[in-house]
Structure 1
């Protein structure tokens, strides 16, 4: 049993705790959130804390083992052994781009690196995109660089380096190289670099490469600094190292004298509850002999003096006038505010302040550690860009500025055509954009499947209506099941969203730290839904909110206590603090509830889980609570699932990587939590983010950091669901019972669905095999029912409510192996195709789109 009492000598760091919640986005919704909660919020440390609690440690070797195990499962089974996932969107929302590159010899060849979705390539200027890095299993990308002298050679650095909330959780394993424009990749070294800030390839020699390695985000290590290879990655030499907590965040080269190299070093230390993004070792270093020796540039050269507050620095060298160099500085070890742009016209010997801090106040929006880049037009040394919360452009070397509009905020990438400097490619948290007029206007690519979902939802009555809470792209939905018509319904980062399964005019959605909204008109408008929640409660970045499966007008909300409400009109606490109490740092983002499960049979039985490893249960509606954590590991509780037929049976999933030789991640109780059984079996030792049950057949589905896994024998054996979902982070699962469809929300590759009817039907039934295929699905003008049956039977079409629409076929199946059906006269929507064979039948979902 855990002690909920706060230690007497706890030191509450209230100042930092307040800073931890400062937000960095200026949408109107978030201003409302700030007004209501009294907090401003940074992007959270939530993802790292999930995986590193309680030892502030992620076992990278365990992750490598899990990748190998997952790949082996996929390689050893035939393609026919599993079905295919269906991509369900969105394409028009976007997600975080970390770098963008235009091939130097062809403006139609574009490359985009993403924070957690891998690398995408287009050969037709963005009309179509292809993921080209999925086989490598490290889908967090820090930088990508194309060799100017041979565009077939590309280097990619894994592990985003922007100091974001996901960086420490999704680290890389070094540098990859492609010799065929990205068709295939080979890891060429620096496996302990963790995160890559920049790669520079010698414009005349594609084998000579410099890399800025940032090292661990949440920890210190020596595998950071500037690295050099002269043989295409066969060997690497660490040519610049400052300290084990000083990252190399940027590196740049004089293209006419490639022995002149500049490096931006950045002192940074970070824990989930502590951020220090500045220090005396944050400075610019220069080498005049190709990286063999380095000197620090400082006040004698006209740059700022060493300062404990100096944060991230960005560097850019003009290609048209390589003696011209720009450097942008930040200050304040917590916020990294813009602190001036400096220019040198003599290779860094002397620098002049060309833009004061006040001239671009707010360009880094209180979190400059997330951006920090500067770029120069390759044909005009006076045209410079500051990349931050917004992008600012100057055509006179920084004397005056204009802000480039028409794009999402939070910018990380900007590249220029080498044949037409008016053609530009940009990337930010909202996806990728291109401009054909020098940045005066921008067009958003609305064909990239890279949205980062935290949570998802499907409308029970209208399963074509899909919802999801996303990183930096609001809570979004589609009402048609379309791929490109998703729209925002509330702002901020989106999290839990719930649609009443009985009366879907009630929709509930939240942004960060439990800022819940309620809608009574189907999500068309929202009002505050947190009345009654104590403002001094601790709330998680992703605060759990659920509807009772027994009576969905009843709701449960978890801060550090459990609240209940009818339709979120007003909340009442029904528990004491169910966590270990206030974190020693004083941060109100820790010591919170993270998972809630409620009975299908009554309002009395509720289980809760917390970020500090507690599981509690009540059997009397909250009057009394029992800590049932004994027998469970002290790890972050990510999900709890109850069996509809028995309140005493529940499943608990935990996050974290293997710490000892074996670390279980899924547990089952059959006695209300008095005893727990490890049912992880052959599941890799990786975080499990969600678990759902199909209890009639002891079938379980789990979302993990490496795909969706399922078990048909109550956890005795696990395998990967489907063949075509990349080994990516899956955050949330939703099951739609009428259509037997499982939906998966990924963090970086949007949302997918899977028809699990064959898995659920495990009896002796000829139709339970893969004997029925429907394509294309979604269908437009027609669809084909392909089958391998040999008996008399019928095929019927039903709407989602079960009403028969029409008969599609009657006769001997062996006479017509491909039944073609025209959709004329059938409205767009979700339908059920029912195949009947004697006393057997099977139902397949069909989407008709227009």
Structure 2
């Protein structure tokens, strides 16, 4: 009875907590809606991903459908989860908008591939590491996921599912790499993740990084624990609590197994069970004093044999995979992956010819072991010949960028960036095609891990590009040459201390001036040919070994001590004032901000900041663009297990600081901050989980979500000419928010307005071209922005239809428990036939002539649409059913902004906005002027483009008449055929009447031949010599200049003159048939009582 009561209390408590959580989320949503300036208001300002995909990015895990290995999931280390159903020909991101972007593990239920488990928080402890928020589960094949708990686990080591019972799942929780506590250890659920029980606990510093189930007996399990810690100042990669464990009772109890294993401290380990003989278990061990190695057990882990001293780095690798066919063959994925065929005695490297190094994941086909998929820092590779050759999946845009920069190239600027282990590169922000930017359009400027990069503002062929530890080169884009220009120690000077991510930038005061920093600041005035040291060591110069790690001081022999960490005490943030030459700011990895006002002759330092723990990493410094006394700073406490957003402002050149973190989320570590160049209060902050903006200098922050997944934003660049916001994400490549200028216009005052059109940026006119076609579905193309003039507008409220009004009233009555009046069938029918409210945007030229009208469905908030800068295309209407003003016209609705005729005249235009509702047209916003500029990129431009426009107008008039005639001809032909049928079925109808109808059919067919000619009998077959159909000539002159801005050709003029001569007789004949012949024939039909025919008014007399 006592147990029952406890269960009931637990159930009630759980239910109450779940209800409270739901209530909390609802309250958060309502609170956001109360704030006028929120994410929803600006949701139409969408980020555009430009890739690239050619470099791909770090892969953490695979989950392959064993029944259909064309279908599998990919866990991307810091780029979510992706799914393919066609062996990587195409991919779908299935985890974009959940609480984490860093993924460790993906596992599918062996009994139901639609059940997918995802462990968040990448399973390693290297320097560039994200963190997760627990375990997620999908029951619909990745269409949706639910967080199942363990939110404080931070990093997940692995997931295994009991093959006998899908509700039994084990999760190896590593815990935070940067601090103690949280949810770490081995967890088990027996109810599909609803509740969890910790079945293996080591300590607050040690979690579990591997768990495996014996395929022959699922009650037998193995787990490895890993004691590790990383901070900015150093790293410990192992300890006495790292061990191997075994369970024989389905994970309920565990025993440490040590026989034959190193007796010293161990670090990261990998373990696997041979599916050929489950008695054989393999283990790879990192250990202190060089005593790590590769071990084999032939008695289910009871004892181990050291097969060789081969091991790899436990902080980044040490993952092993047993071959499904050969008990002695094992794969180890690492910098250069390898395999053994003799149980670990000897090892052979896997070819890296045409393949990136640094592997992390492997799937081997159980039916064909020569076929496997391997994933690493450079993406996914597939082999069908055991690793001799590889196919690269070059269509995953998951590159990890540290930094981003832009240039001022015309007509489109370029984007520059440095990546995690995938080079530094430059590529176009967009191009002239309809398709978008291709992988081949990107250029590598430097190899390795890339960081800061910039192009000379006066000569874009000169690019300064950097790989890790300040190794900066000057790259010649024209020749492809590069030369190292890294500052070197002066005679007698101690070695400089460089950070992995050493800051560098070009001065805005002198284009040949370059700054870079180690523990000192350097300046070059001659493009890096020579350097001046302009500071002493600006760090605290604190010994990294003076800090406790996991509560103790560690000896030099500790496992992987400080391996793969930067020297501590380095400058990591650097900026200069654009307003005052010589005013520089430097920030360090040990929490110091230094300032000089005289170009480095003297420096002042600040080491304490309100609410910021001592020694916190300075992630960004940003000198104000409007006031030389103002500077902004951001701090990153992640590697101290501190996830708070630290962002500050100083108004006295760094002497004192005030937090402007405002309402940024508590786990929103700030990586970068930039200021708008026109509105000083407009700031942008890149955080661990997205990008935010503020229009009030940090009092209130709003997330920009649209088009952007949950992702870390490491850097932000503003392209000033275009007012584009370009961001470097750590795992999903580059994103661009095209023309963010409407954010400058947003204020609380906007909510008092009914509507507003924001300033329209000048639009560039050109003819869009095509890329290479027919390249298959793997061919990656990053989309260009929508072509044309972008019109951004605000609408306070979207007008409602009668149906919407009725349903809102019914909803209120239902809530109040009152009777709901039922509409009649007729009222419901009229609701469906109601012409919906719509917005009409009218484009005028400089002489107030209407050029185009664009119709849009009303939507509350800030919205965007595009006008393609073309005149309306002559066409005929074809309404099926009820008229709808906003359906069927492409982006611009019925009178849409796309699909027009030739490009308009370059020059000034304006646009206004009206609302049509209930038969009335209401003006909503004053006209806004903008300019359409023609791109000068043609070899044979028109001498006078106005001649093209006037010719097009003449052609349009003719086209409307000819297209209408063609449609009318078809209707008349159908009408006469119906008349013939009616005559034939009417008793007593004369043969003379039938002959009149037949004669009319012959005449109509003759007109059709004149207009359309004779269709070829088969595709591509030529028709016999005949007169050119009039519509062929019309097509030539109608579409000739849709893809060209060159002058009108003589052939076009000839065609037009022929049409002027030959079309009028056709029109005259049609007129006679419509006005005389058809009415006469219809009168005769009425006289003889013939059945009704289309278009004829029935007659009736009693």
Aligned-residue offset at 1:85: 0.6
Report SS of the residue matched to 1:585: helix
Alignment match, 2:799: none
Greater length-normalized contact order (CA 8 Å, ≥ 6 residues apart):
1
**Which of 681, 684, 704 pairs up with 1:721?**
704
Q: What is the aligned partner in structure 1 of residue 358 from structure 2?
A: 410
Q: CA deviation at 1:691?
A: 1.7
Cα 1:343–1:484 change in 2 (3 A) is farther
Does 2:634 align with 1:688? no
Matched, 1:754 2:737: yes
* Distance of aligned partners of 1:835 and 1:370 in 2 relative to their CA distance in 1, 3 Å threshold: farther
Structure 1 residue 548 displacement after superposition: 0.9
- The answer (yes or no) to whether the contact 1:728–1:746 under 8 Å persists in 2 is yes
- Offset, 1:193: 2.4
Give 1:376's match in structure 2, choosing from 316, 322, 325: 322
Taking the aligned partners of 1:460 and 1:257, their CA distance within structure 2 comes to 64
CA distance in 1, matches of 2:240, 2:716: 46
For 1:564-575, list aligned pairs within 5 A.
564-566=523-525, 567-575=527-535
1:123 to 79, 85, 104: 85
Give secondary structure in 2 for the equivalent of 1:99.
strand
Indicate the residue corresponding to 1:434 in structure 2: 382
Q: Confirm or deny that 1:258 pairs with 2:218.
A: yes
What secondary structure is seen at the aligned counterpart in 2 of 1:262?
A: strand
**SS of residue in 2 equivalent to 1:153:** strand
Contact 1:100 1:111 in 2 (8 A): yes
List gaps (5 residues or longer) in structure 1: 1-64, 797-806, 825-831
Q: Which residue of 1 aligns with 2:884?
A: none
Correspondences of 1:375-524 after superposition (within 5 Å) = 375-398=321-344, 400-406=346-352, 407-462=355-410, 463-478=412-427, 481=430, 482-485=437-440, 486-521=442-477, 524=480
Matching of residue 99 in structure 1 with residue 61 in structure 2: yes
Out of 268, 290, 300, the position equivalent to 1:347 is: 300
1:841 equivalenced with 2:930 (yes/no): yes
CA distance 1:659–1:836, change in 2 (3 Å): farther
Alpha carbons of structure 1 residues 585 and 662: separation in structure 2 relative to 1, 3 Å: closer
Distance in 2 of aligned mates of 1:743 and 1:328:
43
1:616 shift after superposition: 2.8
The change in CA–CA distance for 1:402 and 1:833 in structure 2 (over 3 A counts) is farther
| Equivalences for residues 535-546 of structure 1 within 5 A | 536-546=495-505
Classify 1:212/1:718 alpha carbon distance in 2 versus 1 (closer, same or farther; 3 Å). Answer: closer
- Kindly tell me: are residues 369 and 630 of structure 1, through their superposed partners in 2, closer, same or farther at Cα, counting changes over 3 Å? closer
TM-score (norm 2): 0.62
Q: CA deviation at 1:629?
A: 6.1
Q: Distance in 1 between matches of 2:394 and 2:928?
A: 47
Q: Work out the CA distance in 2 between the residues paired with 1:370 and 1:93.
A: 20
Answer whether contact 2:160 2:212 (CA < 8 A) is retained.
Answer: yes
After superposition, the Cα gap between the structure-2 partners of 1:70 and 1:493, relative to the gap in structure 1 and judged at 3 Å, is farther
Q: 1:112 offset after TM fit, Å?
A: 0.9
Q: How far did residue 282 of structure 1 move? A: 3.2
The whole-number CA distance in structure 1 between the counterparts of 2:936 and 2:713 is 24
Measure the CA separation in 1 of the matches of 2:709 and 2:73.
19
SS in 2 for 1:312: strand
Higher helix share: 2
Q: Is the 8 A contact 1:768 1:842 kept in 2?
A: no
Greater per-residue strand proportion: 1
User: Residues of 2 paired with 1:66 and 1:667: CA distance?
Assistant: 29
Structure 1 position 162 matched with structure 2 position 124: yes
Q: State TM-score, norm by structure 1.
A: 0.80
- Distance across 1 between alignment mates of 2:30 and 2:377: 30
Partner Cα distance (1:416, 1:177) in 2: 24
Task: State the Cα deviation string for residues 784-833 of structure 1 (Å, max 9, x = none).
Answer: 5486521413799xxxxxxxxxx954699999532437999xxxxxxx99
- Alpha-carbon contact 1:117-1:749 (below 8 Å) kept: yes
The 1:608/1:304 distance shift into structure 2, 3 A limit, reads closer
Q: Residue 951 of structure 2 aligns with which residue?
A: none
Shift of 1:733: 0.8
SS at match of 1:370: coil
- Alignment deviations for residues 252-296 of structure 1 (CA, whole Å, 9 cap, x no partner): 111121111111233334443343333444332222221223333
Q: Distance in 1 between matches of 2:636 and 2:176?
A: 20
- Among 679, 684, 687, which residue is 2:660 paired with? 679
- Residue 644 of structure 1 deviates from its aligned partner by 3.7
SS at match of 2:97: helix
**Following the alignment from structure 1 to structure 2, what is the Cα–Cα distance between the partners of residues 66 and 448?**
33
CA distance in structure 2 between the aligned counterparts of 1:432 and 1:71, rounded to whole angstroms: 43
Kindly report the root-mean-square deviation, in angstroms, between the aligned alpha carbons of the 2 structures. Answer: 4.0
SS at 2:439 equivalent = coil
Alignment check: 8 A CA contact 1:74 1:723 kept:
no
Larger radius of gyration: 2
Q: Secondary structure at the match of 1:368?
A: coil
Supply the distance in 2 between the matched residues of 1:737 and 1:145 (Cα, whole angstroms).
45
Hey, what does 2:75 align to over in structure 1?
A: 113
Instruction: Provide closer, same or farther for how the CA distance between residues 395 and 291 of structure 1 changes in structure 2, counting only shifts above 3 A.
Output: same
Please state how far the C-alpha of 1:645 moved relative to its aligned partner: 4.3
CA–CA separation in structure 2 for the residues paired with 1:184 and 1:134: 10
Instruction: Provide, for residues 715-760 of structure 1, a one-character-per-residue CA deviation record: whole Å limited to 9, x for no partner.
Output: 3432122412112110011111112211100011111101134425
